[in-house]
Amino acid sequence: MIDLRPKRVAVTGGAGFIGSHLVRRLLERGDDVLVIDNFYSGTRDNLADVRDHPHLEVLRHDVTFPLYVELDEIYHLACPASPVFYQADPVQTTKTCVHGSINMLGLAKRTGAKILLASTSEVYGDPAVHPQQEEYWGNVNPIGIRSCYDEGKRAAETLFFDYHRQHRTRIKVARIFNTYGPQMLANDGRVVSNFIVQALTGQPLTVYGDGSQTRSFCYVDDLVEGLIRLMDTGEEVTGPINLGNPGEFTMLELATEVLRIVGSDAPVEHLPLPQDDPTRRRPDITRAQETLGWEPTVQLVEGLERTIAYFAERLVARGLTAFAAPVVASS
């Protein structure tokens, strides 16, 4: 018999930056979506435009506690992903990664749901291999100030693969590289949002170290497409799979591009490099290309224009910006 009911999908951390974009895509394709969030780093404002959608339910819940619902798929994104938030309460960050994953994996085991872990490029630490392939085991400080997140996600990956081997749980593991776009928090401490807000308000752009360290920036729409494609694969595909944009930019290059688009002559201010800050970061996405038929389509300049317009509109509304919002095509 053909099942015509909507797919029941949970998104933990669904009120966060990436989670809210994923929720919209799932609603657009007709799924019943349950957002599970404790609103530590997420906000209901991110879901304001879909809060009355008939297929959306929002549940305030901390994933470190068990949850009993019926589901077909679980996107497990719950965890603060920016240093400002995850270092503010490192013990809770580790609990979210470990206890939260155990609870969501237990839910998937009971219901037979597929479950996807939003892991991170931080599992590679300060990599000694460049670009980073999924086979690389990483170079992570287990006792540093970033360890709650880096090692927490590594432990979460361990749990996912152990549940798969021991209980045949249907898992997917995505390693997400730096992602940016509308609905990032202005105060989350990520480099893209920092630079944009500083440039729009005429403040110096804070660059840590000499600015030669590199990152690869993936626009959020591309990332969400990759997550959905990974979830939709058959049981033979578990990952881990890198999802990110292989374009590599130094922090000074990013700062220069943001200043150019904004039209600001704000200075660049150099600050000491944080502990364990990776010097280079770029994904090898060969596996994603071959397995998912996926690669990013939004290049950095286009993505920055959209993101700057988002922040400018909100800052102008609050009378906080010295610059008008750039005119760009809608995403």
The pLDDT tens digits of the residues spanning 283-309 come to 999 999 999 999 999 999 999 999 999
**Stretch among 2-11, 94-103, 119-128, 152-161 having the lowest mean pLDDT:** 2-11
pLDDT at site 328: 41
Asked if residues 202 and 264 have their Cβ atoms less than 8 Å apart, the reply is yes
Alpha helix segments (H runs only) across the chain? 17-28, 83-86, 90-111, 147-167, 191-200, 220-231, 251-262, 286-292, 300-317
Return the CATH class of domain 8-179+219-244.
alpha beta
pLDDT at site 2: 63
Tell me how far apart the alpha carbons of residues 262 and 253 are, in angstroms, rounded to a whole number. Answer: 14
CA-CA-CA-CA dihedral for 161, 164, 166, 169, to nearest 10 = 140
Share of the chain above pLDDT 70, in %: 96
Query: Which residues touch 327 (CB under 8 Å, ≥6 apart)?
Result: 309
- Does 329 have pLDDT greater than 60? no
Q: Where do we find the tokens 């000074």?
A: 252
- Does 331 have pLDDT greater than 60? no
- Does 81 have pLDDT greater than 90? no
Tell me how far apart the alpha carbons of residues 220 and 203 are, in angstroms, rounded to a whole number. Answer: 26
Helix (H/G/I), strand (E/B), else coil: 239: coil
Q: What is the mean pLDDT of residues 216-221?
A: 97
Q: What is the mean pLDDT of residues 187-211?
A: 91
- Does 112 have pLDDT greater than 80? yes
**In the structure encoding, which two tokens stand for residue 290, read together?**
């071959």
Beta-bridged to residue 219, according to DSSP, are: 180
Asked if residues 20 and 183 have their Cβ atoms less than 8 Å apart, the reply is yes
> Is the Cα torsion angle 32, 36, 41, 44 positive or negative in sign?
positive
Asked if residues 105 and 168 have their Cβ atoms less than 8 Å apart, the reply is no
Asked if residues 132 and 77 have their Cβ atoms less than 8 Å apart, the reply is no
DSSP letter at 182? T
Kindly list the distances between the CA atom of residue 139 and the CA atoms of 7, 86, 191, 285, in Å, as whole numbers in the listed order: 39, 20, 22, 19
Helix (H/G/I), strand (E/B), else coil: 30: coil
Q: Map 293-325 to HEC letters.
A: CCCCCCCHHHHHHHHHHHHHHHHHHCCCCCCCC
- Does 205 have pLDDT greater than 90? yes
Q: What is the mean pLDDT of residues 38-62?
A: 95
- Does 171 have pLDDT greater than 80? yes
User: pLDDT confidence of 321, banded at 50, 70, 90?
Assistant: low
Active site residue ranges: 149
Asked if residues 298 and 221 have their Cβ atoms less than 8 Å apart, the reply is yes
Kindly list the distances between the CA atom of residue 4 and the CA atoms of 111, 126, 149, 181, in Å, as whole numbers in the listed order: 19, 47, 40, 34
- Does 211 have pLDDT greater than 50? yes
- Does 30 have pLDDT greater than 80? yes
User: pLDDT confidence of 273, banded at 50, 70, 90?
Assistant: confident
Q: 221-265: per-residue pLDDT in tens?
A: 999 999 999 999 999 999 999 999 999 999 999 999 999 999 999
**Stretch among 106-110, 142-146, 175-179 having the lowest mean pLDDT:** 142-146
Mean pLDDT value across the chain: 92
**In the structure encoding, which two tokens stand for residue 52, read together?**
């009355």
- Does 327 have pLDDT greater than 60? no
